[in-house]
Amino acid sequence: MDTYNTLLVERVGSTAIITINRESKLNALNAETLWDLSRVLGLLIVDTTVRGMILTGAGGKAFVAGADIQEFVGMDGTEAAQLAARGQNGVMDKIANCPKPIIAGINGFALGGGLELALAAHIRIASTNAKLGLPEVSLGLIPGYGGTQRLPQLIGRGRAFEMIMTGDMIGAEEALSYGLVNYVVEETELLKKCLTLLERMYLRSPKALAKVIEAVNTGFLEPKTGFQQEISLFGASFDTDEAKEGIQAFLEKRKPNF
1: pLDDT confidence band, cut at 50, 70 and 90? low
pTM of the model: 0.95
Q: Quote the pLDDT of residue 68.
A: 86
Same domain, 120 and 238: no
- Cβ atoms of 84 and 67 within 8 Å: the answer is no
Same domain, 238 and 191: no
Same domain, 129 and 242: no
Q: What is the CATH number of the domain that holds 185?
A: 3.90.226.10
Same domain, 50 and 174: yes
Same domain, 78 and 27: yes
Full DSSP string of 58-82:
SSSSEEE--B-GGGGTT--HHHHHH
Distance (Å, whole) CA 235 – CA 237: 5
Question: Taking 90 as the threshold, does the pLDDT of residue 2 lie above it?
Answer: no
Distance (Å, whole) CA 36 – CA 113: 15
**Mean pLDDT score, 91-112:** 98
Same domain, 31 and 50: yes
- Residues annotated as catalytic are 116, 136
Q: Is 112 exposed, middle or buried (0-12, 13-18, 19+ CB in 10 A)?
A: buried
Distance of CA 234 to the CA centre of its chain: 25
Residue type, 248: Q
Q: Quote the pLDDT of residue 67.
A: 87
Report yes or no on 1 lying in a domain. Answer: no
Same domain, 63 and 159: yes
How many independent structural domains does the chain possess?
Answer: 2
Nearest alpha carbon to residue 106 among 69, 61, 143: 61
DSSP E strands in the chain: the ranges are: 7-12, 15-20, 52-57, 62-64, 102-106, 109-111, 123-127, 131-133, 170-171, 183-185
> In terms of residue numbers, what domain contains 225?
206-251
**Span 71-100, pLDDT tens digits:** 899 999 999 999 999 999 999 999 999 999
Alpha-carbon distances of 61 from 23, 131, 227, rounded to whole Å: 8, 10, 42
Same domain, 224 and 123: no
Q: Quote the pLDDT of residue 181.
A: 98
**Span 133-151, pLDDT tens digits:** 999 999 999 999 999 999 9
Same domain, 187 and 117: yes
**Span 32-82, pLDDT tens digits:** 999 999 999 999 999 999 999 999 999 989 999 998 888 899 999 999 999
Residues 6+ apart with CB under 8 A from 240: 205, 207, 208
**Span 227-237, pLDDT tens digits:** 999 999 999 99
Same domain, 68 and 129: yes
**Span 8-40, pLDDT tens digits:** 999 999 999 999 999 999 999 999 999 999 999
Same domain, 84 and 175: yes
